[in-house]
């Protein structure tokens, strides 16, 4: 069965489940996206790595990568291989000394680990057929009819409050947010700083 490569295109609050987040994966050579509802901890773990932040203490997924690296274990890929009653299942495909092992994992944990190893994420055609949603090329900020939006739109909305602050104030707020391990706020501040730096 042919595998379809996916990439992360959005991460936002879920408007359908309180306290949860929506992770959007899109096929690299197509217009379909796969929205997956994940927990706040896993969403934070994914966002921290995508934003290139360094937490004061290693998170669980960072610890996992450190242990794997110490024992010369490489994560070759993550495969979202099942969809049962609306729940996605994934496998981590590891290699150690030429030996390949498949390890079951929650999809959210698998992706949080995948972004740390910078390895590819795949799924199968039958899963895209069952749970994928079609995206127009012009719809970069919405992935379904529930009102969920990707991170780029949400960041634009939340960053409006930073418009009146200067760069020094933003940097102080960023340092404080990281120190308090409020990585969601830190991510928004980092986006505002990066936007100004490119102007």
**Are 34 and 87 found together in one domain?**
yes
Strands 99-106 and 32-39: unpaired
Confidence of residue 161 (pLDDT cuts 50, 70, 90): low
Residue owning tokens 């987040």: 21
Confirm whether 2 is domain-assigned.
Answer: yes
Domain that holds residue 185: 149-199
Question: Tell me: the pLDDT tens digits for 143-154?
Answer: 333 333 334 433
How much is the pLDDT for 199?
60
Confirm whether 144 is domain-assigned.
Answer: no
- Please give the Cα distance from 121 to 124 (Å, whole number): 11
**Are 50 and 15 found together in one domain?**
yes
The mean per-residue pLDDT over the stretch 156-175 comes to 64
**Are 120 and 195 found together in one domain?**
no
Question: Tell me: the pLDDT tens digits for 101-142?
Answer: 999 999 999 999 999 999 999 999 999 998 988 865 434 443
pTM: 0.69
The mean per-residue pLDDT over the stretch 90-103 comes to 96
Please give the DSSP secondary-structure letter assigned to residue 159: G
**Are 38 and 128 found together in one domain?**
yes
Confirm whether 24 is domain-assigned.
Answer: yes
The mean per-residue pLDDT over the stretch 153-158 comes to 39
**Are 99 and 190 found together in one domain?**
no
How much is the pLDDT for 73?
96
**Are 27 and 102 found together in one domain?**
yes
**Are 125 and 37 found together in one domain?**
yes
Q: How many domains does the chain divide into?
A: 2
Q: Using only C-alpha atoms, what is the Rg of the chain?
A: 18
**Are 11 and 107 found together in one domain?**
yes
Q: Calculate the CA dihedral of residues 38, 42, 43, 46 and round it to 10 degrees.
A: -130
**Residue where a domain stops, chosen among 114, 138, 162:** 138
- Please give the Cα distance from 122 to 4 (Å, whole number): 5
Confirm whether 119 is domain-assigned.
Answer: yes
**Are 11 and 71 found together in one domain?**
yes
**Residue where a domain stops, chosen among 138, 170, 185:** 138
Question: Tell me: the pLDDT tens digits for 168-182?
Answer: 777 777 777 777 767
**Are 126 and 157 found together in one domain?**
no
**Are 134 and 194 found together in one domain?**
no
Question: Tell me: the pLDDT tens digits for 37-92?
Answer: 999 889 999 999 998 888 888 889 999 999 999 999 999 999 999 999 889 999 99
**Residue where a domain stops, chosen among 95, 114, 138:** 138
**Are 132 and 191 found together in one domain?**
no
Q: Is 146 helix (H, G, I), strand (E, B) or coil?
A: coil
Confirm whether 143 is domain-assigned.
Answer: no
Confirm whether 113 is domain-assigned.
Answer: yes
The answer to whether 15 touches 151, Cβ cutoff 8 Å, is no
């Amino acid at each position: 069965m042919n595998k379809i490569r996916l990439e992360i295109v959005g991460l936002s609050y879920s408007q359908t489940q309180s306290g949860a987040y929506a992770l959007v994966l899109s096929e690299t050579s197509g217009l379909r996206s796969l929205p997956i509802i994940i927990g706040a901890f896993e969403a934070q773990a994914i966002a921290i790595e995508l934003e290139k932040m360094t937490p004061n203490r290693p998170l669980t997924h960072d610890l996992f990568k450190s242990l794997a690296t110490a024992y010369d274990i490489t994560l070759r890929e993550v495969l979202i291989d099942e969809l049962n009653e609306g729940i996605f299942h994934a496998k981590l495909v590891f290699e150690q000394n030429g030996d390949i092992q498949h390890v079951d994992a929650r999809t959210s944990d698998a992706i949080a680990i995948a972004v740390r190893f910078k390895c590819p994420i795949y799924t199968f055609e039958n899963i895209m057929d069952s749970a994928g949603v079609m995206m127009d090329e012009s719809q970069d900020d919405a992935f379904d009819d529930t009102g969920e939006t990707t991170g780029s739109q949400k960041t634009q909305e939340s960053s409006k409050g930073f418009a009146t602050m200067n760069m020094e104030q933003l940097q102080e707020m960023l340092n404080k947010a990281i120190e308090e391990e409020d990585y969601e706020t830190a991510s928004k501040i980092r986006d505002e700083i990066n936007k100004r730096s490119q102007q």
